[in-house]
Amino acid sequence: MNWQWFHRLGSPRWFYQTTERWLPWLYLAALTILSVGLTWGLAFAPEDAKQGNSFRIIYIHVPASFLALAGYYIMASAGAIGLIWKMKLSYMVMKAAAPIGAALTFVALVTGAIWGKPTWGAYWVWDARITSMLILLFLYLGVIALQYAYQSVDAASKAGAILALVGTVNIPIIYKSVDWWYTLHQPATIKLTSAPSMHPDMFQPLLVMILGFYIFYALALIVGTRSEILRRERKTGWVRELAAAEVRS
């Protein structure tokens, strides 16, 4: 089998030059879809019968939680590709994904705490879902810390990749925690095996927000990876040519 195409995908130069064309469209799509979803969810979705308007934080909380979990798998997968196939681009993707995932996990925890106060009467409880999400934040922060704990970029990348892979065991725990243990946290709103528990007028803007968050995540990951490419490849001829062209313009 010809694996040339696979190794081409691992070229930092190819990635940088190719994604240049994607950025304007991703910026436009993320801005448009998130604006539509937020306006729809905050202004036009009906009020919840039990929670009133406090439920509207779901339009930030759920998408951020989704991407915090999915982003961890992306980070760990990039680390695994780096360990197995020695692709330096994958390590750059892993490093770029870590702070984005940490930020999304932090947003999920904070919005969950804000939502928990009127729902449970407390900002924080040592609930299985919330506690495992806090562990996820620490895992992200651990991967970030390892990137700066070694003088050798290669050693830092390998250490971060190993921690990321070990931490994947936490993702199914987060997802299934509300089913495995008694928990105050409500069951998953979206399940592949059953219909959503929300009214369609509330659920549809949530889907729009989730789509918008996925596009925003892709945009942030590409921008972060491009920045890391320039930092690590700054001594190469093509980056020097790029910098010279920017100066001339």
Residue 106, domain member (yes or no): yes
Residue 239, domain member (yes or no): yes
**How many domains, the chain?**
1
Alpha carbons 224 and 5: distance in angstroms, whole number: 23
pLDDT tens digits, one per residue of 189-200? 666 556 677 889
Q: In which domain, by residue range, is 138 found? A: 60-186+199-244
SS (H, E, C) 18-41: HHCCCHHHHHHHHHHHHHHHHHHH
Residue 165, domain member (yes or no): yes
Looking at residue 198, its pLDDT comes to 82
Looking at residue 4, its pLDDT comes to 64
pLDDT tens digits, one per residue of 9-27? 789 999 999 999 999 999 9
Residue 138, domain member (yes or no): yes
Residue 85, domain member (yes or no): yes
Looking at residue 3, its pLDDT comes to 61
Residue 28, domain member (yes or no): no
Alpha carbons 224 and 77: distance in angstroms, whole number: 17
Alpha carbons 120 and 247: distance in angstroms, whole number: 57
Low-confidence ranges of the chain (pLDDT < 50): 1
Looking at residue 221, its pLDDT comes to 98
Looking at residue 176, its pLDDT comes to 84
Looking at residue 28, its pLDDT comes to 98
- Which tokens hold the place of 12? 């930092």
Alpha helices in the chain (DSSP H): 4-9, 12-19, 23-39, 58-85, 88-120, 128-147, 153-167, 170-180, 200-232, 237-248
Residue 232, domain member (yes or no): yes
Beta carbons within 10 angstroms of residue 156's beta carbon? 19
Single pTM value for the model: 0.93
Residue 193, domain member (yes or no): no
